[in-house]
Structure 1
Amino acid sequence: MDTLPTTQLKTVTDAFDYKGFPAEKSKTGGWTSASMILGGEVMERLTTLGITVNLVTYLTGTMHLGNAASANIVTNFVGTSFMLCLFGGFLGDTYVGRYLNIAVFAAVQAT
């Protein structure tokens, strides 16, 4: 009796599911995980934008700084934020890993 040929599952090398088994390509990733990452990034950007706008108001109103000094402080904040993105990309690609790196730097940038 002839049997149907069995197909091996394509697994991702060096990737494991939550139970510790090798991750199957057909069941991992996709739009579910991409939407979670994109949602987190959108919330992070909204947080940074809100901090930036409120920082201008705080520096000029509460701290009684001039417009030039307030603008300088805010642009330094935004520039540091963007430089941390480059540093985080390098760190994530070389040492830590993508998902842990996204979580850590999103938390750092939001605080």
Structure 2
Amino acid sequence: GGSGEMEWNDLEGKLFRHPEYRDDDEYFMFDSDDLWPDGAYLVAGTDPERIYVWIGKECAECDYKDVGACTAFGARAAAAFRAASGTHGGAEVQTVREMEEPDVFWDYFVLG
């Protein structure tokens, strides 16, 4: 609000850089500065379980300009995360490209 206090994110989730999905690779208190354009990251949201796969403009692992390739990459990344974590089996997967993030994506980040 306008009270001058820092606003914290409303949604809880974990951030990982692809393909490092072990708990000891998790980012804590993450914000938008943790997303590097040359990488891909996965946000594992809780309540409801949801997976966002964020793809940077310079990511070498998929063609950022090819929406279909990004969607396929997102599905593979989500499958790798599920295999490594044993969680989020029924979670909706959304692939998010840099500069096209929906507002709800930023709700998982400290300070948005």
TM-score, normalised to structure 2's length? 0.27
Q: Which has the larger radius of gyration?
A: 1
**Which of the two has greater helix per residue?**
1
Higher relative contact order (CA 8 A, sep 6+): 2
TM-score (norm 1): 0.27
